[in-house]
Each structure stands twice: as structure tokens, then as C-alpha cells.
Amino acid sequence: MNKIIIAVDGHSACGKSTMAKYLAKSIKYNYIDSGAMYRAVSLYCLQNAFFQGDNLDLLALREHIDAIRISFRFNEVTGRSDTCLNGENVEKQIRSMEVADKVSPVAAVGFVREAMVRQQQEMGKNKGIVMDGRDIGTVVFPDAELKIFVTARPEIRAQRRLDELIAKGEKASFEAVLENLKKRDFIDSTRKDGPLRKAADAVLLDNSDITIAAQNKWLMELFRQASAG
Ligand code: CDP
């Protein structure tokens, strides 16, 4: 069976990464969370005081962009890959609401996207990869053999993300999470470079009302069809 590229795009917190991780594990492919890369760049901006309130110092970020290296390291305990920023494990920090609040403006910057897209294309050059994000099927891998676009109703997505944050011991309210998701969806969909949109040849999945088991079954069938062709 030929190795393929699987691109999973969609709205914030609709379970893309759970889905992409399950698929990658089942078919023994590498999984890359491209959102984690933009989150890590945002953390770098926060750590280096590039933000004054909501204002981002673009000149400073441009000077540093080539020095920001994102990598993934397998965690034996969780069985998942952790995100590293210049070699340091930042998996926990990048999932905070503070980073969620800054990530979409950072990800809208053209030169940030260019740098991340380059790193992502490099990671996929041998295929056998599942990558999730916003522009994977449209910009990063426009020739991906399987493209999936995932969405769900905003309130359902907010509840899923809130449950995730609470499980990790973070404090957040349903309203704050919902507002953050809506704000990010808006910025992600309306930006000039690599906006969030469904590729014409992507399969659409609204998973508001379907079980994870049903979703996984559907996914494996899609994979079988795509890798056979
Ligand atoms: O997990 P969640 O859906 O909240 O978001 P994520 O996948 O971690 O992505 C965080 C943010 O990074 C998104 O809201 C986008 O602003 C940005 N992003 C992007 O611009 N392009 C990608 N390929 C992936 C993420």
C-alpha cells in the first residue's frame, strides 16, 4: 500500500487533533499538530515580551523568526508527542488560555506562516503523515491524497475544550472559551495568508452529533479508499 498524506483542517476545538492522532496511531503514520507550532511561536512572543497588550512587535518577531525551531519529542509516559520550542518541552504551556488568546494574531502574520509552512512541508516530504491545522489541505499539502474538513457547532466545541482544560487543571469559564473560539475562527477565516477554508476536494465532517466510535469507523473507511487509489 502506498504511503499518503492526510490533511485534517477545520474550526477550533472540534476534535481534529483527537481524530488525527487516532488515525495516525491506527495506521502507523506520523502525526503533526501544526497548531502546536503556531502556539509555540506565540509562547516565544510572550516569553520575549513582543506583546504590549494586544500589540505585537512585528519587527522584533521578524528578527527572531529564523531562530524559532519547533520539534516534536515522543513522551513515553503519555504515549504522545510533546511540542518543543528550541529544544525545551513546552507542551503544557502552549495549551494555556493565555497562549490561545494570542495565537490567531501571531498565526495571521505572513512571515510566520511562511516559516511554519516550510517546516511542515519538510516534515511531510516522505509522506506517511497525518497533519492537522487550518491550511494543510489548501496551502501546505494541496496535493494530499486525503483531505478532511471538520467542524461542529460552537457551543459543542466550547464544552469539549472546557472539559479538556478542566481535566488539565486549568481554570476557565464556558463563556470565555466560547468567545475565544469564535474570535479565533473569525481571525483564522478572514486573514489574507492561508485562511481557514475547506479545500474543494476535502470531505466535510460535522461531528456535533456523532460518537467517536462512529467517527473512527468512518475515518478508517476513508483511509482505505484513499490509500488504495
Ligand atoms: O486545538 P485548537 O483547535 O484550539 O487550535 P490549534 O489547532 O491548536 O491551533 C491554534 C491556532 O493556530 C489556530 O486558531 C490558528 O490561528 C493557528 N493555526 C494556523 O493558523 N494554521 C494552522 N495550520 C494551524 C493552526
Residue nearest atom 15 of ligand 1, based on CA coordinates: 104
Rounded to the nearest whole angstrom, what is the distance from the C-alpha of residue 223 to the centroid of ligand 1?
24
Rounded to the nearest whole angstrom, what is the distance from the C-alpha of residue 11 to the centroid of ligand 1?
8
Residue nearest atom 10 of ligand 1, based on CA coordinates: 35
Place of cell 516534536: 72
- Ligand 1 contact via 196 beta carbon (within 6 Å): no
Instruction: Please check whether residue 106 is in contact with residue 112, taking contact to mean a CB–CB distance below 8 angstroms.
Output: yes
pLDDT in tens, 75-93: 999 888 899 999 999 999 9
**CB atoms < 10 A from the CB of 192, how many?**
8
* Cell, residue 225: 479508499
Residue 80: predicted pLDDT = 84
Instruction: Please check whether residue 98 is in contact with residue 177, taking contact to mean a CB–CB distance below 8 angstroms.
Output: no
Task: Please compute the mean of the pLDDT values over residues 135-159 and round it to a whole number.
Answer: 97
Residue-wise DSSP of 83-125: EEETTEE-TTGGGSHHHHHHHHHHHT-HHHHHHHHHHHHHHTT
Number of domains in the chain: 1
Find, among 6, 3, 2, 33, the residue nearest to 148 by Cα: 6
Give yes or no for residue 65 having a pLDDT over 80: yes
pLDDT classification of 179: cutoffs 50, 70, 90? very high
| Domain limits for position 224 | 5-228
Amino acid (one-letter) located at 56:
L
Element (H, E) at 132: strand 129-133
Q: State the Cα–Cα distance between residues 149 and 152, nearest whole angstrom.
A: 11
Rounded to the nearest whole angstrom, what is the distance from the C-alpha of residue 95 to the centroid of ligand 1?
11
Instruction: Please check whether residue 229 is in contact with residue 145, taking contact to mean a CB–CB distance below 8 angstroms.
Output: yes
pLDDT in tens, 113-128: 999 999 999 999 999 9
Residue 135: predicted pLDDT = 97
β-pairing, 88-89 with 203-206? unpaired
CA distances to 61, 113, 159 from 67, rounded to whole Å, are 10, 15, 36
* Average confidence score pLDDT of the chain: 95
pLDDT in tens, 24-43: 999 999 999 999 999 999 99
Rounded to the nearest whole angstrom, what is the distance from the C-alpha of residue 219 to the centroid of ligand 1?
21
pLDDT classification of 180: cutoffs 50, 70, 90? very high
Q: How far apart are the first and last CA of the chain?
A: 9
Residue 205's Cα: distance from chain center in Å? 16
Domain harbouring 179, CATH code:
3.40.50.300
Q: State the Cα–Cα distance between residues 10 and 174, nearest whole angstrom.
A: 21
Rounded to the nearest whole angstrom, what is the distance from the C-alpha of residue 160 to the centroid of ligand 1?
16
Give yes or no for residue 140 having a pLDDT over 90: yes
- Which of 72, 134, 139 gets mutated to test ligand 1 (max ligand atoms within 8 A of its CB)? 134
- Ligand 1 contact via 124 beta carbon (within 6 Å): no
Place of cell 513522551: 75
Find, among 172, 108, 150, the residue nearest to 19 by Cα: 150
Angle at 75 between CA 167 and CA 79, to 5 degrees: 70
Q: State the Cα–Cα distance between residues 64 and 111, nearest whole angstrom.
A: 11
pLDDT classification of 3: cutoffs 50, 70, 90? very high
